[in-house]
């Protein structure tokens, strides 16, 4: 029986689905690091994580047993995807399951900031009655700039338009606008056009400090900023200074450059204690509905890879959706994309008298993945002998039961 370890309070829906596929599932509420994480990688076939567990090259170098990793979240920046690929380990995530949850939070926070609710709420808790319309605005008729017009950004734009906002967007990739959203030619143009700026970009070297001092200065005086994407995207110190100066009238920040590994660890940011600032602990996708959907989506991908070799949805390997297994056995081979590699595999099959009944091959960069259905079950240890070829990364046999 295959063994799975799910970390960081992954929703029970994931555990239940894997259990229905006869996978032995263990869970832990916290993220792992150090020797504990090395042991988890060494001792399990499947590993499920969220955003606080970080898997680097040193972990995949110690992953002879590990078959696949599931990121039960949108992002995969916490995983060294190249090292995983070169260890023959597909990484799966859930790019769509919490889209609505993040979008709803952004719209809700936009309304709260435009009405200056955070500081009014804080004052009321302290016994002060601040009943005034000064500085309090409706979002209807205002302009929102969506920076990063992917799945979440586009959904935010749809909801914003439904609330009566004008939407502009900027993305480094060409994107078709939805509804009345207007594409902008540059980041600076988008920032200067908006009363509200919301960020929905991945963590990459190109997006690190995307909103630096220059970009933050390009925002309209009195505008507000929301970041529910990645913590490295905003220069937090400069943002704090611009909130103090009043150039930026409010902010809602859900992600931070450094985040606690658990709920018991301390959290410190220069944004603490500032008026009209909403700080949330990376909960953009943390609704019961989203977490249940993520559990099902990622667990389904993990189980499908384990049982059929399917890599549809993998973020770091060529993607293949194989046909149902009607042959006695299926050989999965992840290899370096070099001339003659497939011929060597087929020769090895011929040497054991196996006829190839179906074969699917995809390549991506320097990695190839081939699924071969054959007419017999290979002898014990045969897949291990394939690894003597320098181009083979990982070979596995699935027997049709």
List the catalytic residues. 230, 259, 282
CA distance 371 to 359: 6
How far is it, in rounded angstroms, from Cα 69 to Cα 88?
Answer: 11
Nearest alpha-carbon partner for 88 in 327, 369, 285: 369
Structure tokens at 175: 């994107």
Contact status, residue 367 vs residue 86, Cβ threshold 8 Å: yes
Closest CA to 73 of 19, 27, 148, 7: 7
Structure tokens at 207: 């997006």
With 0-12 / 13-18 / 19 or more C-beta atoms within 10 angstroms meaning exposed / middle / buried, residue 245 is exposed
Contacts of 261 (CB under 8 A, 6+ apart): 30, 31, 33, 52
Handedness of CA 265, 268, 274, 280 (dihedral sign): negative
Residue with tokens 């929703």: 11
């Amino acid at each position: 029986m295959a063994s799975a370890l799910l970390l960081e309070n992954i929703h029970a829906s994931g555990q239940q689905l894997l259990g229905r596929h006869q996978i032995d599932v263990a869970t832990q509420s916290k993220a792992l690091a150090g020797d504990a994480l090395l042991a988890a990688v060494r001792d399990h076939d499947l590993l499920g994580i969220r955003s606080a567990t970080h898997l680097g090259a040193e972990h995949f170098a110690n992953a002879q047993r590990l078959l696949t990793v599931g990121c039960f979240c949108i992002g995969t920046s916490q995983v060294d995807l190249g090292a995983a690929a070169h260890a023959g380990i597909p990484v799966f995530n859930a790019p769509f399951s919490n889209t609505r949850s993040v979008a709803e939070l952004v719209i809700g926070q936009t309304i709260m900031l435009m009405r200056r609710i955070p500081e009014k709420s804080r004052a009321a808790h302290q016994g002060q009655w601040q009943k005034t319309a000064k500085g309090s605005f409706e979002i209807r008729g205002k302009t929102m700039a969506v920076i990063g017009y992917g799945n979440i950004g586009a959904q935010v734009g749809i909801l914003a338009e439904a609330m009566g906002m004008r939407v502009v967007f900027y993305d480094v990739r060409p994107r078709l606008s939805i509804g009345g959203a207007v594409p902008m030619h540059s980041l600076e143009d988008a920032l200067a056009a908006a009363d509200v700026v919301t960020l929905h970009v991945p963590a990459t070297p190109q997006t690190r400090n995307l909103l630096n001092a220059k970009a933050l200065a390009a925002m309209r005086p009195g505008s507000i900023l929301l970041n529910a994407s990645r913590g490295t995207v905003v220069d937090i110190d400069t943002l704090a200074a611009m909130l103090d100066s009043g150039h930026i009238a409010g902010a809602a920040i859900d992600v931070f450059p450094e985040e606690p590994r658990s709920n018991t660890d301390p959290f410190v940011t220069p944004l603490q204690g500032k008026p009209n600032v909403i700080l949330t602990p990376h909960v953009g996708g943390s609704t019961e509905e989203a977490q249940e959907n993520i559990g099902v989506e990622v667990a389904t991908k993990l189980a499908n890879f384990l049982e059929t070799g399917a890599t549809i949805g993998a973020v770091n390997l060529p993607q293949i959706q194989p046909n149902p297994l009607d042959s006695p056995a299926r050989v999965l081979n992840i290899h370096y994309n070099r001339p003659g590699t497939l011929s060597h595999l087929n020769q090895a099959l011929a040497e054991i008298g196996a006829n190839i009944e179906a074969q699917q091959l995809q390549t991506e960069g320097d990695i190839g993945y081939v699924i071969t259905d054959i007419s017999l079950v290979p002898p014990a240890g045969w897949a291990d002998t394939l690894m003597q070829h320098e181009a083979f990364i990982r070979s596995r046999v699935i027997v049709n039961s």
